[in-house]
Structure 1
Amino acid sequence: MVTAQASQAPAISPVAIKERTGSISTGEILSVLKGEITGLHIKQAFSPELAEEITTNFDRNPGLKERKDGVPGQYVGASHYRRNAATYFAEAESARPFVEALFTNLVDPVRALFDALKRELNKEAIELRPARSEHGQANICRAICWSGAGMYSLEPHDDVAQVLCAGKDSELPAVANNTVVALNFYPSMPDEGGNLRIWSHKPSDSERRSQGVETTGYPYSTAYLEPLPYHDFQLKAGDIALIDGGFVHGVTRQSGNGKPRLLLNCFLGFARRDLVLWWT
């Protein structure tokens, strides 16, 4: 006689959260890359004037598109999600002028951060560069407005599954052996909602399979996450957040002043001890 096993509750993973006001430091970024900090929230990290200009450039951008991969949102740039390396890098090359147009006549805060991090990593003989292939290389970031209409603007998910499944012709799967970091800049935020929520849960491969998200990491059900504690980052325009993307996270429903929740996003992580990659 065969008996069905009861579904196990998801394991609770410890989280280390840091929130403060001011400029971000390369030391803090390295702490997230090394898994020492789970979530880092820097408030008022770049100016309201710069945030407003980037938002205007997004709204007017000729490369603005609707996502058609099952994740509701508008974007400028390219995403490796559910794409093979050839398709992703070709899209990244095509989108590059539109990504650059987000920062026309402006200081690019994402590039400034990477320039500072590159100098710091060089001291330890570690290279920092965009992921690449014979088809092209990743852009500095992408710009996204999530537009889910339910309980979450962006459903709960993890970022590791999509990296593991990026394909044998991609550099990215090696990063999944380490910490996959999501880096977000916020040029615009609504008055209410749109919080970045991170649950105290870093799913294993078997837990992903149990939820049917082993190739995408998206979406985890609210029932599955219900017993888990979580932390909400209450974001404002001009903030920066970095999280360990292996933890389940999502974006709460937005309301309030009608301003968009716009973020500049990319991912980064160690592919080898002497190499950190970024991609979108």
Structure 2
Amino acid sequence: MQQSTTRLSGQQADPEFFRFEERGELDYALVLDVLHGRRLGVIFRDVIPPAARKDLTERFWASPARHHREGEPSHYVGAYHWNKDVDTYLDESAAVAEHVQQVIDAPDSPWHVFRQGVNEALREEGASLRVAQMNGRSACAALIRAWDKEGDFSLDPHEDEAQCKDPRQHGFEVQRVLDHQICAVNMCTEHTAGGRLVIWNIRPDDATRRSLGIEQTGLPYQAEALADFEELRLDIREGDVYAFNGAFVHAVDANAGNRTTVSFIMGFTDPRTVVSWT
């Protein structure tokens, strides 16, 4: 069966859930709502100071560790866990760790500010946030990237749940997040035009993934197959920070110029622990 004609099945959320809260300042209680599955997403407008945006963006483009990724074309500093065995991911994370820190350690870094705020909010619940680990080795702290793919989407429709099912990553603690909620976090430090976040009201099930042959990747979902589902298109601007449930199919639509973000994924592994990875 052709992917474009496959009928998608899975969970659809009610209207009260399927929306983004929007704020002009950071409110970490709303982020915890996303982590706990109480809301779809939240966006904080213009919360990254202009000097921090400029400094972090310049560090990214100047980094000797910046590479160009094929397939889903982007410039990036960091490591992807997507579609690889855990040892490869952890090896790549270790190799690039100092370069990642060099980028995100800019003064007033949104990475540090956001994680500190989330950690303080989690402490009220007796929990904490840290980078994911396995056998004493750490996941990548952040992925800094700028999309440059041509077409309707600069990042094709996908979801972040399937990639955590990869048997090549058995034993990696991020797989325990599947018992909870997957929260994608993005911080926009550079933006020209376009590049909206698109999210559809469908959280695909394993039957859909099997029919599409994407059980362990969650990529791609064809726009034609998503046409029957409600969608949100959210303008993203320089200085914005946003977090949302990454188990719902989402994409980045076409952008012009540079759209540079600092990103990671996070979720509970147990009631006391939230881990992050890239």
What is the TM-score of this pair, normalised by structure 2? 0.91
The letter for the 1-side match of 2:267 is G
Q: Which residue of 1 aligns with 2:270?
A: 272
Q: Which residue of 2 aligns with 1:3?
A: none
The letter for the 1-side match of 2:22 is R
Distance apart, 1:42 and its partner CA: 1.2
Q: Which residue of 1 aligns with 2:151?
A: 150
Q: Which residue of 1 aligns with 2:181?
A: 179
Could you say if the C-alpha distance between residues 23 and 147 of structure 1 is closer, same or farther in structure 2, counting changes exceeding 3 Å?
Answer: same
Q: Which residue of 2 aligns with 1:206?
A: 207
Q: Which residue of 2 aligns with 1:47?
A: 49
Identity %: 27
Q: Which residue of 2 aligns with 1:13?
A: 12
Moved over 6 A (4+): none
Aligned ranges for residues 112-123 of structure 1 at < 5 Å? 112-123=113-124
Whole-Å separation in 1 of the counterparts to 2:170 and 2:143: 24
Preserved CA contact (<8 Å) 1:92 1:136: no
Structure 1 stretch displaced more, 13-22 or 265-274? 13-22
Distance apart, 1:105 and its partner CA: 4.7
Whole-Å separation in 2 of the counterparts to 1:228 and 1:184: 24
Q: Which residue of 1 aligns with 2:60?
A: 58
The letter for the 1-side match of 2:61 is D
Distance apart, 1:48 and its partner CA: 2.0
SS of the aligned residue for 1:206 comes to helix
Aligned ranges for residues 221-260 of structure 1 at < 5 Å? 221-255=222-256, 258=257, 260=258
The letter for the 2-side match of 1:66 is H
- Give structure 2 stretches of 5+ with no counterpart: none
Preserved CA contact (<8 Å) 1:20 1:43: yes
Whole-Å separation in 1 of the counterparts to 2:90 and 2:108: 25
Whole-Å separation in 2 of the counterparts to 1:11 and 1:78: 30
Q: Which residue of 2 aligns with 1:32?
A: 34
The letter for the 1-side match of 2:188 is Y
Whole-Å separation in 1 of the counterparts to 2:104 and 2:147: 20
Whole-Å separation in 2 of the counterparts to 1:19 and 1:34: 15
CA RMSD of aligned residues (A): 1.8
Distance apart, 1:135 and its partner CA: 6.1
SS of the aligned residue for 1:227 comes to coil
Preserved CA contact (<8 Å) 2:188 2:262: yes
Whole-Å separation in 2 of the counterparts to 1:34 and 1:104: 29
